Amino acid sequence: MSTTAKTEPAATAAPSEPREESERCLVCGAVLAEDQEWCLECGAARTVIHAPPDWRIGLAIMLAVALVVLIVLVLVLP
Ligand SMILES: [Zn+2]
Ligand 1 center–CA 65 separation, angstroms: 45
Ligand 1 center–CA 10 separation, angstroms: 37
DSSP letters spanning 4-58: PPP---SSSS---PPP-SS-B-TTT--B--TT--B-TTT-PBPP--S---HHHHH
pTM of the model: 0.33
Ligand 1 center–CA 50 separation, angstroms: 19
Ligand 1 center–CA 18 separation, angstroms: 19
Ligand 1 center–CA 58 separation, angstroms: 35
- Rounded mean pLDDT, 38-46: 88
- Rounded mean pLDDT, 28-46: 88
- Rounded mean pLDDT, 24-37: 87
